[in-house]
Amino acid sequence: MYEPSIIGFLCNWCSYRGADTAGMARMKYPPNVKIIRVPCSGRISPELVLRTFREGADGVMVLGCHIGDCHYSTGNHRTAKRMPVLKKLLEYTGIDPERLVINWVSAAEGEKFSIVIKDFTEKIRALPPFVETMK
């Protein structure tokens, strides 16, 4: 069985703090996710996600604040608009859209954070390695 490598883009104000909360509560989650802290989930352009796949990631997570809670008021609205379209594009190009996940995790939701990561890692583990599918 292969260990999938997953990149998680976490918004500094909510999801990254959510990861902290999960850590402080000693919650367990798989170590496959490499976390990259970004100022806002709206920073994650489609190019960035595609490049992450190009570099060999098996899955990409974009976690941000809940709609309405954004530190920059409408930053995550950008995520909410562009990521569903990117998922569709992945599907139309023949890449499993399940490899990209978007979710909202607030600073208090440590448990949700660990569940989201656990579920996603399991889902990705069931898929073949991304690089293999592209040959």
Partner 1 sequence: MTDRLTSLHEAIEQVFPQVEGVLALKRGPAGIAAPYLFSPEHPEELELLVLWPKEPVPDTLKIIQRAHTDSKLAIVCRGCEERGIVEMFKHSQLKWDNITLIGLECTQEEAEFCRCAKPFTIHATNTVGDSIQGVPDPLTDKIAAMSLEEKRAFWMEEFEHCIKCYGCRNICPQCFCNICTLEDEKWVETGRLPLPNPSMYHMIRAMHMTAKCVACRECEETCPAGIPMAVQFRLIARDVQEMFFYETGAKLDQKPPQLLVLEEGEYQRTGLPH
Q: Which two tokens stand for residue 90?
A: 């992945």
Least Cβ distance, residue 17 to partner 1 (angstroms): 19
Give the Cα separation of 40 and 71 in Å (integer).
Answer: 8
Give the Cα separation of 23 and 42 in Å (integer).
Answer: 25
Tokens 């959510």 locate to: 18
Examine residue 37 and tell whether it contacts partner 1 (CB under 8 A): no
Give the Cα separation of 18 and 110 in Å (integer).
Answer: 5
Examine residue 83 and tell whether it contacts partner 1 (CB under 8 A): yes
Least Cβ distance, residue 26 to partner 1 (angstroms): 26
Mark 53-82 with x for binding to partner 1 (rule: CB under 8 A) and - for no binding. Answer: xx-----------xx------x--x--xxx
Which neighbouring-strand residues pair with 8? 35, 61
Examine residue 102 and tell whether it contacts partner 1 (CB under 8 A): yes
Span of 9-17, 19-27, 36-44, 51-59 interacting with partner 1 by CB under 8 A = 51-59
Query: Side-chain half-sphere of 107: how many Cα atoms within 13 Å?
Result: 7
User: Which spans of this chain sit near partner 1 (rule: CB under 8 A)?
Assistant: 46-47, 50-51, 53-54, 66-67, 74, 77, 80-86, 88-89, 91-96, 102-104, 133-135
